[in-house]
Amino acid sequence: MTDLLKRRTRSQLKLALLNDCACLKTLAELEHDARLSGLTGAEIDAALGGRSFEAMTSVAISFACAAKGGEPEQVAAARARAMRLGMSGQELDEIARETSRILVEAGR
């Protein structure tokens, strides 16, 4: 796992990808795990809104959310934006794999 997908980033990805969950228990568990990874309340709220205060993490979240949506044009646009901002294709592939893993684990 690259530095990009450290525990904090994984927590933010999970919050952003699963923020539409109607299960309060699941959301509480996600928030608890996020706090254990060192995220503040403001960072958790930002991730639930699909963003981050860290530029590269925000790009990762945008790409992951586009991948979740499955619209090829949005995925391509998010990928191109991420690469313009310095993210490598390898990092984006890792984010795509992590996105799939998170969604599968959540039963989506």
Domain of 89 in residue numbering reads as: 3-105
What's the pLDDT tens digit per position in 49-75?
999 999 999 999 999 999 999 999 999
Calpha distance 82→58 (Å, rounded): 10
**What is the reported pTM?**
0.89
Structure-token pair, residue 52 = 């981050």
* Backbone angle region of 50, left / alpha / beta, with phi > 0 → left and psi within -120 to 50 → alpha: left
Interaxial angle between packed helices 72-84 and 55-69, expressed in degrees from 0 to 180 and rounded to the nearest 10 = 160
pLDDT interval class at 22 (50, 70, 90): confident
Number of domains making up the chain: 1
Give pLDDT, residue 3: 54
